[in-house]
Chains A and B, each alone.
Chain A
Amino acid sequence: MTLLRRASVRHLWVHRWQTGLAILGVGLGVAVVLAVDLAVSSARVGFTLSAETVAGRSTHRAEAGPAGLDDGAYRRLRSVAGVTAAAPVVEGEVVARGPGGPAVLRVLGVDPFAEAPFRRYSGDRDDRRHASVLIGDRTTLLTSSTAAVLALDGGDWLGVEVAGRRDSVRVAGLLDPADEASRLGLENLLVMDVGTAQAVLGRRGLDRVDLILESDAAVADAAAALGPGGTIVVAGAAAGALQDMTRAFDLNLRALSMLALIFGVFLIYNSVTFSVVQRRRLLGTLRALGASRRQVFGLVLGEAAILGLVGAALGLILGLALGSGLLRLVTRTIEDLYFVVTVRELVISPATLAAAAALGIVGTLAAAAPPAFEAAMTEPRAALLRSELEAGLRRRLPLLSLAGLTLAAVGMLVLVVATGVETSFVGLFGVILGAALLTPQVTVLLMRLLRPAAGAVLGVLGRMAASGVAASMSRTGPAIATLTVAVAVTIGIGIMIGSFRRSLVDWLDITLSADVYISAVRPAGALTSTLDLRAVAVLGDDPAVAEVRRYREVTVPTPAGPVDLMGISIDSRLRDHFTFLDGDVAELWEPFVEGSVLLVSEPFAHHRRTQVGDTLTLQTERGPESLPIAGVFRDYGSDRGLVMISYSGYRERWDDPTVTTMALILEPGADRDEVINRLQAATAGIQPLNIRSNHRLAEVSLSVFDQTFAITQVLRFLALIVAFVGVLSALMALQFERVRELGVLRANGLTPGQVWTMVASQTGIMGLAAGMMALPLGLGLGVLMIEFVNRRSFGWSIDMSAPPDLILQAMALALTAALLAGLYPAWRMARTSPAEALRGE
């Protein structure tokens, strides 16, 4: 190690508090990015692997609407000349009850004889034996790890429950997949014979037939063999579509995590700038002794590299720990909103780790480059006055502000012009960074305003504190900027979530028009569940029930991919409970009731870029049918979007008596709770049901909403912590730098208490300034997130509402963060004896 390097390492050690905070900042930033990346990609890998496992090596798949394919479709497809291989599949979810407790597992019903070209379970030869243990028997195969969770062994019986029907299957064997990917893919899967799967799931027909097709001609022939109800789709398209669903969600999480890293980088900038300013004389001496500019640049950047490396290493450790925690939240949210994810552990790839570490190190170096450059430009004079530095900064302030304005303007432009979610975030980040660059100028102006006020309250100490903030802009600037942005983002996200929630509440109020809603108990994590038809009959028979509405929600193939279709019983009362964003409300009901037009939800119209007047081609059991879209309604039920058809229109096209949800309108004067209890008792023997009043359903919906945004809140909090560390670090730097000044003041009779007052008032003023700037910025960010980011991500329009308490909270947050951050420096300053302080370095 050269002497220069040695000197710089010792410098880091001497200022270990500062060093530690900088490392912590980078570490936290990297950790949050890594954790989110790991959680999101693990959930995704889990989903992809299971999707690939169940899709196998098929090139195409034959599928039909809700009723599925008839059993004979498989035989017909096999006899088509270009069909190289075909395999029938029945899928579903069951609640499995093993000694280890209940778990929601996915049933994969297959014909073992047809599986070889498609899926691998264990070894080749092992797979061949599956036929003899699965076909015709109440048996299942599952991986050893899934069996371990259920505390099962080969030969044990496993209880399975579907839509209230109980059954049991015997574990015929444990799968021992050849590789890790197969193992993950087979996690949480009950592999059964197709017949057993039908019996367990209580259904007939096939969900799909996986195909390996040789040519386009074969696709056409297969479609012909399938008949009008079915379609041949390219395999993998479905998995891709499902992945697309969570893309916006993933992106939002990643963007939030990037924010934490940006705060971390701010912190590095802060810390390195401080170390340069603090060592101006030393750097000048070095230059006088003959150190070249490159050597000085390298010295400073080298220190930053050490911070970055150690910080990144810390970040990897923290990130891995944090990742498992976030994974639960992410998968929970994905399951609430999208689909079942079978993943229990983080999938850690070296590439992910390397990317997160590289991001931290590169960010650190980038942040350290400007101060390092400044250090290199240090004139080799022994001393440069601090005031000169600040004067230089003040001279550059207009330039900085201009850059900030430009950046913010470009960001706005990108936001407005952009259509994609990614570009929207780029624009938003531009606005945030631009605003951050503007904060020093605004701070200077604010200090001019605050100085008399502070003077009035705290006298000369207050005035000194206020002018100290403006005079040490090189120190206070980044700290205030970081705090401002962090608080603003908090306000912005708060406004976004709050407005969203408010809109949801309003929507639920309008939408939940019936008195009682009934759905089957959806096992945690399961995608769908349907009502037992016996229960449907019992429910409709209750004397207190005036009217019954049935809803059937299914996924239907279209040429543009699958859509969620809801058949809905419609009556005059229900009409008032739609809010239309597009379409002629007076004219659309009649044809809708007839079943000749469709209504689509706002996210559907947004994602599919459809509007009133367009048509949508649905694959019905009678073949493809094009129906016009007559209206676009507001709906927060699904960000994928929903297509509505009248229930009778649905039944005309699909021979599917199943009901997903029921709504009951009670006779006037009926006691709602009494009716619910009665219905609960009447259906107890048939199927466990959620029978809820409209109020209760609204509550449940809101709790799901809150759960969904739990991860957002966590990330927001983490970003705030990083910002707090940044402010703490900046304030400490500032106060330690003023050791001599404070020493002089102490020598001249300032009491320790007055030191406290002064330091606290200075940090308080900084917090106040940050809060004052964060407020408009936060409101603006809230608007931008609602109008652009959220809309582009999910397609929902939200009515903006900014609760005043949120604004107060934000101010309090800024002040508290600043004051907390000032505590330790104030304590240190007050404790330091004037003599020691005066001795200087």
Chain B
Amino acid sequence: MSTIARTGSKARVGPRARGRFAAPHLGLGLGLLAAVSACQDTGPARATLSVTEILADADTVGFARADRPRVFEFPADHGPHPEFRHEWWYYTGNLRARDGRAFGFQLTFFRNALRPGASSVESDWATNQAFMAHFALTDVVAGRFFAFERFDRGAVGLAGARAEPFQVHVSDWVVESVWDHEAGRPVPPVRLRAAQDGVVLDLVLESAKPPVLQGDEGLSQKGPEPGNASYYYSLTRLAARGAVAVQDEPVEVEGWAWLDREWGTSALGPELEGWDWFSIQLDDLTELMVYRLRRHDGETDPLSRGSFVHADGTTVGLGADDLVLVATGRWRSPRGGTYPSAWLLQVPRLDLELRVQPVLADQEVDLSFRYWEGAVTVTGRRGAEPVAGHGYVELTGYAEADLAAGGSDSSSSSPSTGRPRNRTAR
């Protein structure tokens, strides 16, 4: 999904941070942005900073804006767009081993420009491009969830992204084109590798469908103002094959993965609380993407969107009116906040009705930003036919209760949940 979401009002990044920015698809950009302004703020803490202030701020000045549709060119657009403030490569997927074990994974790379243009500092280390990566793995049968985080600068080989041959990496967490020895050149399948604390993911992903342009021909509006938008495309059906290890011998896995790509210089409107994002891959080789932007009043924002991809790759765009999303379960985070935990998702226009169920209730990512991002199973019907499938759901703006109670800085001490829960160590 997409969208720079900025929700609520509570400072989150630090005691003196002015704004709270919910993370995942969106977070790093504004999270660090908040830090920029906060660090110079030696005066008394201010709890809120409106998006208009941010937008009016110099923060967008000097950056390119997604203010008109564009012609996407591949493979160039797989690579970075440093003239925009933020960008991400968001890989999620569901995997299955031969022995029946099931895994969900998330490997996400965020690029954030700390300031526009190239750094004026004369040093190989100097760069305005900062990278963050999140790596999470759900071991469904064992009921375990791991999440790790890394930060690095886009210089001296520590982190970076390029189009050809494709590579994006933060230290040794990497996604890159597979080198075809016969052809003597990189080829489209990408290899995805990440490992930490014995949790290892090593997959080769090959796209079965062409890129899907989300929103209006790839322009995804985040607010009514022109330019407050991003460019957004997805690879909705990536055949995944490889190995997973969870503090043990690696096991061979295969399954389906999904890539969301987005870049822009945008912010989430002040009226928005957060969002619920669904990527669903059905057994009939169709895919559904839905994001619902939630307003503070609990209503669905009209900018919410979705898309349905037929087995042949043709796409149906869905507006807010096309979507019915009802939460049917609740999960209370031990770290504070209550999340919806099961849904009934209906798209009357397509005669689609799906029940979405997390494979594990607690797939809350508790790192620099706290959000829920987890594997789900899907059952339902499309027309008269029963369908089933897997997917990934991202929920933001729910971890708020504890923030309200705990003031500014709460996530540094999350209570132990009695299951392995890994934070970044590097």
> Are A and B direct contacts in the complex by CB distance below 8 Å?
yes
- In the assembled complex, 24 residue pairs joining A and B whose CB atoms fall closer than 8 Å, in A order, are A74-B156, A74-B158, A75-B158, A126-B14, A126-B16, A126-B39, A129-B14, A129-B39, A130-B39, A131-B130, A132-B32, A132-B130, A133-B36, A133-B40, A135-B153, A138-B121, A173-B40, A174-B42, A193-B125, A195-B124, A198-B124, A199-B121, A199-B126, A204-B124
User: Which one of B1-9, B112-120, B392-400 is at the A interface?
Assistant: B112-120
Does A196 touch B at the CB level, under 8 Å? Answer: yes
Interface pair B115/A136, CB less than 8 Å apart: yes
Does B155 touch A at the CB level, under 8 Å? Answer: yes
Does B99 touch A at the CB level, under 8 Å? Answer: no
Interface pair A133/B124, CB less than 8 Å apart: no
Would you list which residues of chain A between 161 and 198 have a CB under 8 Å from chain B?
172-174, 193-196, 198
Q: CA–CA, A153 to B156, complex, Å? A: 32
**B30-74 Cβ-contact flags toward A at 8 Å (1 or 0):** 001101101110100000000000000000000000000000000
Interface pair A124/B412, CB less than 8 Å apart: yes
Residues of B within 8 A of A194 (CB): 123, 125
Known A-B contacts A72-B156, A113-B151, A173-B40; the reply to A136 vs B13 at CB < 8 A is no
Contact of A199 among B36, B123, B130 (CB under 8 A): B123
Output the least CB separation between A63 and chain B (Å).
18
Output the least CB separation between B378 and chain A (Å).
37
Does A260 touch B at the CB level, under 8 Å? Answer: no
Query: Assuming A132-B130, A195-B121, what are 17 further A-B pairs, CB within 8 angstroms?
Result: A74-B158, A75-B157, A85-B425, A111-B125, A113-B130, A125-B412, A126-B39, A129-B17, A129-B39, A130-B39, A131-B35, A131-B151, A135-B128, A195-B127, A195-B155, A199-B123, A204-B123
User: B412's closest neighbor in chain A, by CB?
Assistant: A124
Does B409 touch A at the CB level, under 8 Å? Answer: yes
**A726-770 Cβ-contact flags toward B at 8 Å (1 or 0):** 000000000000000000000000000000000000000000000
Interface pair B121/A196, CB less than 8 Å apart: yes
Residues of B within 8 A of A173 (CB): 39-40, 42
Residues of A within 8 A of B152 (CB): 113
Would you list which residues of chain A between 483 and 512 have a CB under 8 Å from chain B?
none
Size band of the interface chain B makes with A? 35 or more
User: Which residues of A does B touch, CB under 8 Å?
Assistant: 71-72, 74-75, 78-79, 84-85, 111, 113, 123-126, 128-133, 135-138, 153-155, 172-174, 193-196, 198-199, 204
Residues of B within 8 A of A154 (CB): 40, 42
Does B249 touch A at the CB level, under 8 Å? Answer: no
Output the least CB separation between A214 and chain B (Å).
11
Interface pair B127/A135, CB less than 8 Å apart: yes
Residues of B within 8 A of A132 (CB): 32-33, 35-36, 39, 114, 130
Q: CA–CA, A195 to B35, complex, Å? A: 20
Does B315 touch A at the CB level, under 8 Å? Answer: no
Q: CA–CA, A128 to B27, complex, Å? A: 14
Residues of A within 8 A of B156 (CB): 71-72, 74-75
Does B426 touch A at the CB level, under 8 Å? Answer: yes
Output the least CB separation between B11 and chain A (Å).
10
Contact of B125 among A133, A153, A172, A195 (CB under 8 A): A195
**B129-168 Cβ-contact flags toward A at 8 Å (1 or 0):** 1100000000000000000000111011110000000000
Output the least CB separation between B277 and chain A (Å).
25
Interface pair B123/A133, CB less than 8 Å apart: no
Q: CA–CA, A84 to B35, complex, Å? A: 27
Residues of A within 8 A of B126 (CB): 135-136, 193, 195-196, 199
Residues of B within 8 A of A126 (CB): 14-16, 39
Interface pair A133/B121, CB less than 8 Å apart: no
Residues of B within 8 A of A193 (CB): 121, 125-126
Residues of B within 8 A of A113 (CB): 130, 151-153
Does B182 touch A at the CB level, under 8 Å? Answer: no
Q: CA–CA, A155 to B43, complex, Å? A: 13
Residues of A within 8 A of B124 (CB): 71, 195, 198, 204
Q: CA–CA, A136 to B114, complex, Å? A: 8
Does B299 touch A at the CB level, under 8 Å? Answer: no
Does B368 touch A at the CB level, under 8 Å? Answer: yes
Residues of A within 8 A of B15 (CB): 123, 125-126
Interface pair A79/B13, CB less than 8 Å apart: no
Q: CA–CA, A135 to B13, complex, Å? A: 18
Secondary structure of the B side of the interface?
Answer: loop
Give the one of B14, B15, B115 with max A CB within 10 A. Answer: B14
Output the least CB separation between A82 and chain B (Å).
13
Q: CA–CA, A395 to B123, complex, Å? A: 84
Known A-B contacts A124-B412, A129-B35; the reply to A195 vs B368 at CB < 8 A is no
Does B171 touch A at the CB level, under 8 Å? Answer: yes
Residues of B within 8 A of A138 (CB): 120-121
Q: CA–CA, A128 to B35, complex, Å? A: 8
Residues of B within 8 A of A124 (CB): 412
Does B351 touch A at the CB level, under 8 Å? Answer: no
Interface pair A78/B40, CB less than 8 Å apart: no
7 nearest interchain CB pairs?
A: A195-B125, A129-B35, A125-B14, A195-B123, A136-B119, A195-B126, A113-B151
Does B385 touch A at the CB level, under 8 Å? Answer: no
User: A76's closest neighbor in chain B, by CB?
Assistant: B157
Does B248 touch A at the CB level, under 8 Å? Answer: no
Known A-B contacts A85-B426, A113-B153; the reply to A137 vs B35 at CB < 8 A is no
Residues of B within 8 A of A155 (CB): 40
Interface pair A128/B157, CB less than 8 Å apart: no
Interface pair A199/B122, CB less than 8 Å apart: yes
User: A205's closest neighbor in chain B, by CB?
Assistant: B124
Contact of A137 among B33, B121, B157, B171 (CB under 8 A): B121
Interface pair B36/A195, CB less than 8 Å apart: no
Q: CA–CA, A780 to B152, complex, Å? A: 66
Interface pair A78/B153, CB less than 8 Å apart: no
Interface pair A136/B40, CB less than 8 Å apart: no
Output the least CB separation between A46 and chain B (Å).
26
Does B322 touch A at the CB level, under 8 Å? Answer: no
Residues of A within 8 A of B40 (CB): 133, 154-155, 172-173
Known A-B contacts A75-B158, A131-B130; the reply to A136 vs B14 at CB < 8 A is no
Interface pair B426/A135, CB less than 8 Å apart: no
Give the one of B115, B123, B172 with max A CB within 10 A. Answer: B123
Q: CA–CA, A136 to B14, complex, Å? A: 22
Output the least CB separation between B423 and chain A (Å).
11
User: B122's closest neighbor in chain A, by CB?
Assistant: A199
Residues of B within 8 A of A174 (CB): 42
Contact of A72 among B16, B32, B157, B425 (CB under 8 A): B157
Contact of A79 among B32, B114, B172, B368 (CB under 8 A): B172
Residues of B within 8 A of A131 (CB): 32, 35, 130, 151, 153
Residues of B within 8 A of A137 (CB): 114-115, 119, 121, 128
User: A124's closest neighbor in chain B, by CB?
Assistant: B412
**B345-383 Cβ-contact flags toward A at 8 Å (1 or 0):** 000000000000000000000001000000000000000
Output the least CB separation between A354 and chain B (Å).
38
User: A113's closest neighbor in chain B, by CB?
Assistant: B151
